[in-house]
Amino acid sequence: MIVIVGAGVAGLAAALAFQRLGLQTLVLEKASDLRAGGTALTIWRNAWRALDVLGVGEELRNQYYLLAGSHVVSLQGKVIHHLSFGNCSRGGLNEVRAIERGALLEALAKPLPAGTIRFKSKVVNVRKGTKKTYNEVELEDGTIIASKVLVGCDGVRSEVAKSLGVKEPRFVGQCAIRGVADYPAGHDYGPMLLQFLGRGTRAGVVPISSTKVYWFVCFKSSSAVVRKVEPDVLKQEALEHLKSWCKKNLEEFSSLIENSPNHTVTRSALRHRWSLPLVSPSLAADGVTLAGDALHPITPNLGQGGCLALEDGVILARELYNAVFARKSMNAEDMDTNIKCALDAYAKQRWYRFFPLTVKSFFIGFLSMLELWPVIYARDSFGVKVALQPDRFLKHTLYDCGELPIPS
């Protein structure tokens, strides 16, 4: 049996990919139900490819806006750059939509057989197996579950990652407050993503549907500690970080924040991890590997965190199936060897994919949060235009995770 820890985007994508191949999985989730709270995810072309392979793309497409492009707006309220999502000469239209996190999780979970997800199952300890023993996870209630393949999809503070010796992600000195504004009678935003660049702050507006708009405010912070505070306090804090912005920009965000139900408003510290070959611990060992934020914590500046997680699920399932489960017969020793080879191949593929994006996302976030006026002037005058050239900026969204094999 394949055990997956965490029923987030990565865990459910992996479970669904395995299920499409006829393989049984058990997903352990510490919460009492799907974590449908939170805001939204920007899903780019590469992730829509993965969703189509998983068989849920069309269902989600019909619910959300197709975004045509992005306007970059200065502190003074001037549009300083326009990026069309249809201008990437190497791949044509770049499909971009924002999806509510809860709706994505429900779409991934719905096709899974009953009993696949075991809720209220918090993992407190992981013991890696050997060639003669299984991997074991210990739950908070003392239950021990053994498996030949263990996949950690349990987020940035992953218990499974700790068992591999992987360090926790590093705080990058920035935090974000996010929310989803609700306009039952409709809003005036067209299908355009708006990015606002300030001095030490930046913000964004992403229309989700005809009635909902996702927004975020990022700002510098000396502390990664996220206190539990009332949503109304978070809303006021977000406005406080925008008080130096022009009246037009401030009024726009005031309306968004005011129209956001409290349960959609969150605050988080931004983190990442640079996994370096020969320096960092292996991302796969003894039948254990990672996916999603547990594998590649990344800052949100490219909108690729959830996209990478969806790719992970497809590629992991394909590698394991082809190396192990597609074989007609195999002794125990050969199975262990093939599992190791499959997980090593998966980890190597994913490193070459996520590491450049982790670095790129960090530097984009750094440049967008500058505070020196001469540098801000250079950024807004020509830096943004250079950085956001379509063929350069959108290249990573042309990635194709490939198909799942046809089960034999």
Mean pLDDT by 10 residues, the chain (408 residues): 95 98 96 83 96 96 92 92 74 83 96 96 89 86 95 96 94 95 94 93 95 96 81 94 90 94 93 88 94 97 96 97 80 85 96 96 92 91 87 89 91
Exposure of 264 by Cβ count < 10 A (0-12 exposed, 13-18 middle, 19+ buried)?
buried
| C-beta of residue 111 within 8 angstroms of C-beta of residue 105 | no
The answer to whether the Cα torsion of 89, 91, 95, 101 is positive or negative is negative
Q: How many residues does the chain have?
A: 408
10 Å Cβ neighbour count for 142?
A: 7
User: What is the per-residue pLDDT for 89?
Assistant: 47
Exposure of 196 by Cβ count < 10 A (0-12 exposed, 13-18 middle, 19+ buried)?
buried
CA distance to 130, 134, 162, 253, per residue, from 127 (Å): 10, 9, 10, 48
User: What is the per-residue pLDDT for 90?
Assistant: 55
10 Å Cβ neighbour count for 86?
A: 12
User: What is the per-residue pLDDT for 131?
Assistant: 64
Q: Spell out the long-range contacts of 329-334 with Cβ–Cβ below 8 A and sequence spacing 24 or more.
A: 333/131
Tokens of 8: 């987030």
> 3-state DSSP call for residue 380?
helix
Query: Domains (ranges, CATH) in the chain?
Result: 2-67+101-170+273-373 (3.50.50.60)
